[in-house]
Structure 1
Amino acid sequence: MPIKGVLFDFSGTLFRIESVRSWLAAACAARGVSVDEADFDRYARELEAACALPGGPGPQRVPEALAEDWASRDESAHRHRAAYTGLARQVALPDPGLYDALYERHRTPEAWCPYPDAAEVLGALAGSGVRIGVVSNIGWDLRPVFRAHGLDAFVDAYVLSFEHGIQKPDAQLFHTACTLLGQHPTDVVMVGDDRHADAGAAALGCEVRFVEHAPLAERPYGLRELGLVNEVA
């Protein structure tokens, strides 16, 4: 069957979050906080160890006080903020305002960069008449990130977990996306990097293809190599 629609995950699939050091430096600048190099290095290491950067690796063990918010973090904006600022608060930063500043920084377009082949693949699919959706487990509106990086014009529908109160792998999110695209799930491919969350689309009959959640330089052609463009050309 020809591909009529493609659903894409956001973080780790189409976009990559900045490094912990860049994230911390931007938050410090926003707050007017100056720290010496040794302290900055220590804060960055500790934030990375706490897995406090949204879009980065998740923690292997979640503090008990955060367990409830973490488990449902992508179902609401409040829980998402509470979970990630809670992880960051495990690190004793020099300014208490930095925890919120860090959270706000990760929601900005400047904190994200598209993978090198994202525009090429999205543009080719859209140009061939394929309907495109973004299905993301997230606690905030990512549409401004797509607009700022010039990718919004390729996207026909966004289905964001916090706007629906459910998170992947719940098949309802994928069903909603297929409905918005006007396509039957068996004509739609889901592309993601999480073999648990994104695999939920298979319950509807979608084909699921995976890319590696890797740094930009290590995955320049991961989307292109899925062969989607060749199948609709």
Structure 2
Amino acid sequence: MTVKGVLFDFSGTLLHVETARSWLRAALRATETHVDEEELDRLARLLDEAGALPGGSTPRAVPARLADAWARRDEDANLHRVAYLGLARQVPLPNPELYEALYVRHKEPAAWQPYPDAAEVLGELRRRGVRTAVVSNVGWDLRPVFRAHGLDGDIEAYVLSYEHGVQKPGARLFQAACDALGLAPGDTLMVGDDPYADAGAAAIGCAVHLVDKLPPAERPDALRRVLDLVG
């Protein structure tokens, strides 16, 4: 197989979201809400267990009233908002403004950290003439995050689930990404961290390479393997 294009997942593949503690601390600061460190740790743990941070932990349980929004959260921006605000509201917080502040925060570039080798790999693919796209299950526009971190110049297309009304592993999203690059699936490699969602690209003939969803400090060079696969 000659790889002419690479499709990358976003969260857990190219960038990693901040910790629940950092996320909550930013929202507290934005709303001028003060809690002591012990309470900060407690609330962050509860929010993490609730799965309220997009890109963070999976919810331990999803309330029945949120089940539909959760299942389709990345197909529509409003459903995404409903799902994650609903999960956060399971945790009593000291200021009602915090729920909105938390939702706003997770979309800010400062909430995301690129993996150490992301820029290097994207730049090298561009130098080799390999076309690249981001294919993400997401309920909001992540392009500003890539621009803020200096990664946007090496990405040719963004195929985001909420803009297409379909989530991975749905074949239509992967096909849309191949079409955006003008490539056949058989010439394309999908790189992601989710063996269910990202491996769905195999159904249309893409090769698939999975990386571990670890904090950036624990995964300094996993994306470099992509360069070996491209050749």
Identify whether the pair has TM-score above 0.5, normalized to the shorter chain. Answer: yes
SS class of match (1:212): coil
In structure 1, the residue matched to 2:104 is 104
SS of the equivalent of 1:163 reads: helix
SS of the equivalent of 1:220 reads coil
TM-score normalised according to structure 2 size = 0.98
Structure 1 residues 111-134: Cα deviation after superposition (integer angstroms, max 9, x where no partner): 000000101111111110000000
- 1-structure distance, mates of 2:205, 2:148: 33
Distance 1:42 1:199 in 2: 36
Partner secondary structure for residue 189 of structure 2: strand
AA at the equivalent of 1:154: D
Q: Name the residue aligned to 1:198.
A: 198
What's the secondary structure of 1:6's corresponding residue? Answer: strand
1:144-197 CA-partner distances (Å, limit 9, x unpaired): 000000000000000000001111100000000000101110000000001111
TM-score normalised to structure 1 length: 0.97
Q: Is the 8 Å Cα contact of residues 49 and 60 (structure 2) preserved in structure 1?
A: no
- 1:43-63 Cα shifts (integer Å, max 9, x gaps): 111111112111012113211
Task: Determine if the alignment matches structure 1 residue 170 to structure 2 residue 162.
Answer: no
Q: Distance in 2 between matches of 1:109 and 1:27?
A: 14
- Residue 69 of structure 2 aligns with an amino acid whose one-letter code is D
Tell me which moved more, 50-59 or 69-78. Answer: 50-59
Structure 2 Cα separation of the partners of residues 25 and 61 of structure 1: 24
1:232 CA drift (Å): 4.1
**Mapped contact 1:140–1:162 kept (Cα < 8 A):** yes
Q: Counterpart of 2:25? A: 25
Q: How does 1:15-94 map to 2 (within 5 A)?
A: 15-94=15-94
Tell me the amino acid that sits aligned with residue 70 of structure 2.
Answer: W
Q: Which residue of 2 aligns with 1:230?
A: 228
Q: Which runs of 5+ in 2 are unaligned?
A: none
In structure 2, C-alpha distance between the alignment counterparts of 1:189 and 1:29, rounded to whole Å: 41
Q: Is the 8 A contact 1:15 1:115 kept in 2?
A: yes
Contact residue 2 and residue 231 of structure 1 kept, 8 A: no
Deviation at 1:28, TM superposition (A): 0.7
**What is the alpha-carbon distance in structure 1 between the residues aligned to residue 47 and residue 16 of structure 2?**
18
> For residues 76-107 of structure 1, what are the alpha-carbon distances to aligned partners after superposition, in whole Å with 9 as ceiling and x for unaligned?
11000111111111100001110010010000
In structure 1, the partner of 2:117 is 117
Give the distance between the partners of 1:223 and 1:133, measured in 2 at CA: 15
C-alpha distance in 2, partners of 1:207/1:47?
A: 36
Distance 1:189 1:231 in 2: 9
2:231 matches 1:217: no
Amino acid at match of 2:153: A
Q: Distance in 1 between matches of 2:191 and 2:97?
A: 37
Shift of 1:231: 4.4
Partner Cα separation in structure 1 for residue 228 and residue 44 of structure 2: 42
Superposed displacement of residue 65, structure 1: 1.1
Aligned residue-pair number = 231
Deviations 1:7-54, CA, capped at 9 Å, x for gaps: 000000000000111100100111111112222121111111112111
Q: Answer whether contact 1:128 1:232 (CA < 8 A) is retained.
A: no
Q: Partner of 2:129 in structure 1?
A: 129
The two structures, once aligned, show a CA RMSD in angstroms of 1.0
Deviating above 2 A after TM superposition, structure 1's stretches of 4 or more consecutive aligned residues are 230-233
